[in-house]
């Protein structure tokens, strides 16, 4: 099975002491590449991913985008109000895409007044977006919600990943 188009992108999940590589798919509904069991296909090395990419993906977007998972892992153990808004927003959006791909619930997608306020603050504070409030202040309740959302997203990722051993995975 081959995929064509430039809507495939390589993501490196950086856990600080090791990395995994996944493929993100940008469509009307964004997703990540999953196997038949709806597990996120991950590669241990960039070389392994590129071997798969060259065999099965007909796209030119081979630039790698980093997602610093370790920053979320560190923050979850000791949440504080100052953090890298871009990292959190990007991971929140990635967790949404993983949820869509795995067909599992992500609490970050459940609409709620406080949850929406937290997401809006992250969005407004992130680079590349023009915002009225580029330096938001998160109160204790919002930090608690953000912690729960990030923990749930991290669990969603880690509990639903399948490491491609010999890169013989066909989606």
| Residue 58, both tokens | 């007909």
* 105/97 Cα distance (integer angstroms): 11
69 with 91: CB under 8 angstroms?
yes
Identify the bridge partners of residue 19 per DSSP, sorted by sequence position: 14
Size (the chain), residues: 171
* Closest alpha carbon to 39 in 22, 62, 56, 64: 22
CB contact set of 96 (below 8 Å; sequence gap of 6+): 30, 106, 108, 109
Identify the bridge partners of residue 41 per DSSP, sorted by sequence position: 162
88-112 tens-digit pLDDT: 999 999 999 999 999 999 999 999 9
User: What is the per-residue pLDDT for 167?
Assistant: 46
Could you say which DSSP state residue 109 is in? G
Identify the bridge partners of residue 64 per DSSP, sorted by sequence position: 10
Can you give the pTM of this predicted structure? 0.90
Domain extents for the chain? 3-163
122-149 tens-digit pLDDT: 988 876 656 566 678 899 999 999 999 9
Find the range with the poorest average confidence among 80-89, 104-113, 158-167: 158-167
Identify the bridge partners of residue 162 per DSSP, sorted by sequence position: 41
User: What is the per-residue pLDDT for 131?
Assistant: 57
The answer, yes or no, to whether residue 2 has pLDDT greater than 60, is no
């Amino acid at each position: 099975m081959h995929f064509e188009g430039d809507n495939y992108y390589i993501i490196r999940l950086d856990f600080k002491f090791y990395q995994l590589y996944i493929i993100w798919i940008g469509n009307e509904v964004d997703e990540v590449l999953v196997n038949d069991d709806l597990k996120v296909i991950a590669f241990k090395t960039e070389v392994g991913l590129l071997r798969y990419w060259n065999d099965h993906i007909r796209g030119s977007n081979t630039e790698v985008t980093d997602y610093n998972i370790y920053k979320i892992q560190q923050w979850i153990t000791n949440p504080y109000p100052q953090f890298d808004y871009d990292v959190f927003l990007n991971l929140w959006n990635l967790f949404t895409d993983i949820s869509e791909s795995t067909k599992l619930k992500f609490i970050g997608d459940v609409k709620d007044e406080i949850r929406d306020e937290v997401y809006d603050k992250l969005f407004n504070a992130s680079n590349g977006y023009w915002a009225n409030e580029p330096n938001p202040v998160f109160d204790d309740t919002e930090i608690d919600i953000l912690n729960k959302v990030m923990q749930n997203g991290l669990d969603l990722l880690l509990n639903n990943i399948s490491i491609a051993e010999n890169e013989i995975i066909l989606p």
